Structure formats: C-alpha cells, structure tokens
Amino acid sequence: MSDSQSAPTGDIPADFIRSIITEDRAAGAYDGRVVTRFPPEPNGYLHIGHAKSICLNFGVGEQYTGARCHMRFDDTNPTREDIEYVESILADVKWLGFDWDEHLYYASDYFEQLYEYAEQLIRDGNAYVDSLTADEIRDYRGTLTEPGRESPDRNRPSEESLDLFRRMRAGEFEDGEYVLRAKIDMASPNVNMRDPVLYRIRHAEHHRTGDDWCIYPMYDYAHSLSDSIEGITHSLCTLEFEDHRPLYDWCQEALGIYRSRQIEFARLNLTHTVMSKRMLRRLVEDEYVMGWDDPRMPTLSALRRRGYTPESIRDMCERVGVARRNTVTELALLEHCLREDLNQRAPRRMAVLNPLKVVITNYPEGESEEFRAVNNPEDDSMGTRSVPFSREIYIERDDFMEDPPRRFYRLAPGREVRLRYACLITCTDVVKDVDGNVVEVHCTYDPESRGGNAPDGRRVQGTIHWVSAAHAKKFEIRLYDNLFTDPDPAGAASESGDDFVDLINADSLEVVTAMVEPGLAAAEPGDRFQFERLGYFCADPDSKAGVPVFNRTTTLRDSWARISRRQE
RNA sequence: UGGGGAUUAGUCUAGUGGUAAGACGCCUGACUCUGGAUCAGGUAUCACAGGUUCGAAUCCUGUAUCCCCAGCCA
C-alpha cells in the first residue's frame, strides 16, 4: 500500500512537474501542502493556449489530496484591464469544469500589503526611488552583451527614498517622474536583475480599486509576493518567464517571506491558427472575423459557440502532456478528442447540405409514412425517433454521380443503394436542365425493403442519408474551415514578410441553407447533433425559436474523400 | 563563450546505463444500415561527432540547430 499522506488521488500523469510535486510531498516539503494558481491578467479573452495552463494548475489542485488551485487575477496594470474580461475569464474556467471554491483572489487586493513590503525593501536598502526617465533607464540598463551603469540615484539614502516613495503614493508627482527600483546588480548577465522597476506612477482608474492608488506594482514584484501571500507552493508559468525566476526568488528572499517555487513549462501552440493576443485582436478589430467568439477563433468562447465540448479540450490537454520543449500540436489531435467525445453523446439526425431531388416513381403520390431511426448507435439509452418519408426526397448531391469512378458506391444510374433507416432504391432515370446539369433523379424503391433490408438478403454497398421533401425544414447552416490553411501562419508570415492576415483562408466560412428533418426545429442554442455522414453540428445563439441556425463543429472523418483524392 | 532553455517517428509525450513505449496522423486489412464508430496489423534506433562501458536515448567532451531575454506590459 502507498503511504497515505503523500499518496496522490487517482492516476496522476507522469510529467516533470507532477514528478516534482510528488517528490516534494514525499519529502514533506511545504508541510505536504500543494497549492497552485491560475493567474491571468484581465485584459483579454482566454484561448485554447490558456486551457493548458488551466488544466495543469487546476488539475494538480484536484489530483493531490488536500491540494487546491487559486483563481487569481494579476490586475496590476489598470490601463489595459477591464471587468468585462474578469467576467469572461471566470465563465470560461467554469465552463471547462474547474472550481476555485472560495479561493478567488486579485493582486489588487494586496496593494496595501505590497506597498508595506516595498517600504521594508527601501528601509533595508534593497530598493530606491529613481528619477531617471524611461529612456534614461533603458540607456543605463546596457545591452545583452554589455553591462549596465548605475543610476545616479542608486545610493540615495533610504530615508530620502522612503519620503519620495510616500509622496509618490500621495500623488505628488506626475506619471513617469519617479519609479521604485530594486537594488540588485547592474552588471548582471541577466538583464532582469539590473535594478528592475518595482513600482511606477500611473494616474489611472483601476477597475477594482478605482482611484485609491496612483502607483502600481510591476508584474515580477506583485506576482512573487502574491504567490507568497497566498502560500502558493508551486507557481507554474510558461517558459518565457524562466529568466525572471531569479527575480521572483529575490523578492521573497529580500523580504524574508514565505518561499514559493516557480516552475516553467512550454505553452500550447496549435496548427492552423494564431495564438498571440496581438494577432487575435487584429482579427477582431479589423473585422476579419465577427468577434472574439466567432467560431473560427481559438478563444474558449469561440470553441464553445462552435460546439466543442469542455471534455474534449481537457482530454487534449491531458494527451499533449507537459514538458519544457517548444512545440506545435496538430489540430488533428484536438479534433480527434472532440469526435471521440461527441460520437458517444451526440444524437444522430439527418440533414442534406447540398440537396438533389429524388423522385421515387413507384411510390404513391400524396402518401407518406414514418420510419424508425436510431438516435445513437453507441448508446441504446438514447432511444429512437420516427422520420417521415414520402415520394420526393432530397439526397446529397455528392451522393449521386452519373458517371461514377471506381470504388464509388453511392447512387448512380442503374445502381441500388439504401436510404438510411428506410428502404432500397434503384436509379432509373436522370433529369437534366438545358446546360446538362442533373436537376433531378428518378428512382424506384423496393416495397419489400421497408426498414432497410430486402427479404431476399441481397446487399448494397452504399447507404445514404435523405430528407423527405414534403416534410423538410430549411435552416441556415454555417460551415467552418480552418481560418488559416497554412499549419503555421505566424511563422509563414514572418518568413515571407507577409502580413499574417493575407494568409487567411478565404473559404473559412460558407453559409448554406440545408434541408433537415423536421424534429430539428426544436433545437435550442448549444444543442449538439451528429448529422449522419456529415459531421457534428451545434445550434448557435443566433437561433430563433423554432428556427435554429447551426454551426458545423467539425466534419466526420471522410475516407471516401481521401480515396477519391488519391484516384485523381 | 552576454545570459537562460531545448533537441526521441509527420505531431505530441514516456523512457534517467541493459538493448526504444503510448497517443494522434498516415498506410493495410476486417467488419458495418453512417465510406462514421469498432477491431487487427504496419509506420524512429533517440540532432551530429567523438569518448567511457560487456552494454548508452540515458554518463563525459565537442559541434550544430531552434526558442526566450535589453516595457515605467504580463
């Protein structure tokens, strides 16, 4: 048996971070506690990349007994933040299925305490108020290969710095007049350690503290201390903060406060999309997409609207794992996770996206009947439904070919196929317009095959979906394709010197009016279905009562498409 | 030699001195009232070059390539 106290709950993935945590527990570090945190700045919408961090931090918080994960907003820059973002972020984390219980925090809640700590740094000679301008500070900082120079204010007596710092807080100075700097090492090979700025003056209204403050702490300082204040044991962040770790440690050490450990991991990148905030904002603001939740965006709100399940996203994050290597995960993995999930739970329906009329010439005019259709072959408990059938139906244009190639086993002149759940039909005639386009197909049906099989046991190769013309509803369906056909749009753009928006897939959105089975009129926004042989679809919030609008979440795997492509 | 990281199949991840594992993708085939799902099989010698060792993806040395850092952003 395992030793009870340090035993993790359930199966824990063996990534390097969890290995560290498990070892720490076994060694009794942090009194056996495990506390992580997810710390976004409320200045934008969460995207699929954030999902990895959320799954990691909240995942760890769930997997070890007694562990927890704090939800914390790193709201230290009032000029770019807004309450709108904190609300959307909270909603997205909840949607993914995570819970912070009562542990919702804001760095801004610690402003007073952070200020006190800053005074302590000054008193201890570990920080000073500097009057250099932003340009001068940059100049004094040196370069990557040359050491920096000390500011003339570096040896300002601490009483004087203390006085100036208090007056900074009191609002006696303009933005930029003074900053508080840590006194570390201007010659450090790590430029982050060359007396980094800890506080700046910003006469701006903060979305939570209003105008209580006109000085705001910088990220490195606020983050390190917030972690310490909350007793975070493992502070998990992305690779680009690696060079900040010495400063993170310095802040806690100089103050002699609780020590947290920062551990960096590689962020998630996905093919066929962009993930940088700058690019996503551009797509929205220049109206290449309809908004942050346009179903083609990689934001969590967009994926939700498109029909992705939170389970599929979490599954993908788990499969991708956690490591320190910069990588790009194939979109195909996310799509696989999605299909696997939806295959189990999405009820089946029939819809024809690109209709071709079929007249069943030996079926009595004006009559109709109903066939029993299985709602989900993967789950009997989902039951069956009845689908109306009549003399005229619609089938998919792609399911008929006048002159079919090898291995095409759908409808063609003289061929017999099965209408799913209904009966066998044989094509007897083709009606064309003056230009020679097929506008209608005539078939006969075998009355003995009602239900789908012929009593003589003969087999057909193809089964196609259909909708009764007399009963069909016409609904709008939005078909989405990747926003970028290039797997690495950001990389391709920077390599060729093009603007990344020039790489946008012109066919990323196609709107069609489809013929669908009548029962679908009752679909509510958010309802997901599999339209048989086509893909997964989700009713959009744009739906009106009785008139849903569907988004295609993703297609089904299509091996015929691959075969026919290869035959060309 | 500015500093810090990384390098295992098309992609992601495991393996931490004993003869490369899993997932996605792709390819074969079986099955099928979704060309879906499912099932079976296939798909790399571990960036490179040396060295240590009976034995190296794992240890040592060197080389190469890629990523991050010079905001009063996070």
Q: What confidence score (pLDDT) does residue A496 get?
A: 86
Q: Which nucleotide is nearest to A179 (CA to C1')?
A: B72
Nearest residue to nucleotide B38 when comparing alpha carbons to its C1'?
A378
Q: What are phi and psi of A481, to 5 degrees?
A: -125, 170
Q: Report the alpha-carbon distance of residue A310 to residue A334 in Å, rounded.
A: 11
In the three-class reduction of DSSP (H, G, I as helix; E, B as strand; rest coil), residue A299 is classed as strand
Q: Does the structure's ipTM exceed the value 0.95?
A: yes
* Cβ pair A517, A467 in contact under 8 A: yes
Distance in angstroms, CA of A358 to C1' of B28? Answer: 37
Q: Report the alpha-carbon distance of residue A320 to residue A338 in Å, rounded.
A: 14
Nucleotides of B under 7 A from a protein CB: 2-8, 10-16, 22-27, 33-38, 66-74
- A50: enclosing H helix or E strand: helix A48-63
**Tokens at residue A550, please?**
């569907």
Q: Which nucleotide is nearest to A107 (CA to C1')?
A: B74
Distance in angstroms, CA of A82 to C1' of B7? Answer: 41
Q: What are phi and psi of A284, to 5 degrees?
A: -75, -50
Nearest residue to nucleotide B73 when comparing alpha carbons to its C1'?
A77
Active centre residues of A (catalytic)? 41, 267, 277
Distance in angstroms, CA of A310 to C1' of B50? Answer: 51
* Cβ pair A208, A234 in contact under 8 A: no
Taking only the tens of pLDDT, chain A with its 568 residues reads 333 333 444 567 789 999 999 999 999 999 999 999 999 999 999 999 999 999 999 999 999 999 999 999 999 999 999 999 999 999 999 999 999 999 999 999 999 999 999 999 999 999 999 999 999 999 999 999 999 999 999 999 999 999 999 999 999 999 999 999 999 999 999 999 999 999 999 999 999 999 999 999 999 999 999 999 999 999 999 999 999 999 999 999 999 999 999 999 999 999 999 999 999 999 999 999 999 999 999 999 999 999 999 999 999 999 999 999 999 999 999 999 999 999 999 999 999 999 999 999 999 999 999 999 999 999 999 999 999 999 999 999 999 999 999 999 999 999 999 999 999 999 999 999 999 999 999 999 999 999 999 999 999 999 999 999 999 999 999 999 999 999 999 999 988 888 999 999 999 999 999 999 999 999 999 999 999 999 999 999 999 999 999 999 999 999 999 999 888 7
Q: Report the alpha-carbon distance of residue A516 to residue A348 in Å, rounded.
A: 12
Distance in angstroms, CA of A530 to C1' of B43? Answer: 32
- Count each helix (H run) and each strand (E run) in chain A, helices first: 14, 25
pTM for the complete prediction? Answer: 0.96
Q: Which nucleotide is nearest to A464 (CA to C1')?
A: B34
Q: CB count, 10 Å around CB of A524?
A: 9
Q: Which nucleotide is nearest to A142 (CA to C1')?
A: B70
Answer left, alpha or beta for residue A425, where phi above 0 means left and psi between -120 and 50 means alpha.
beta
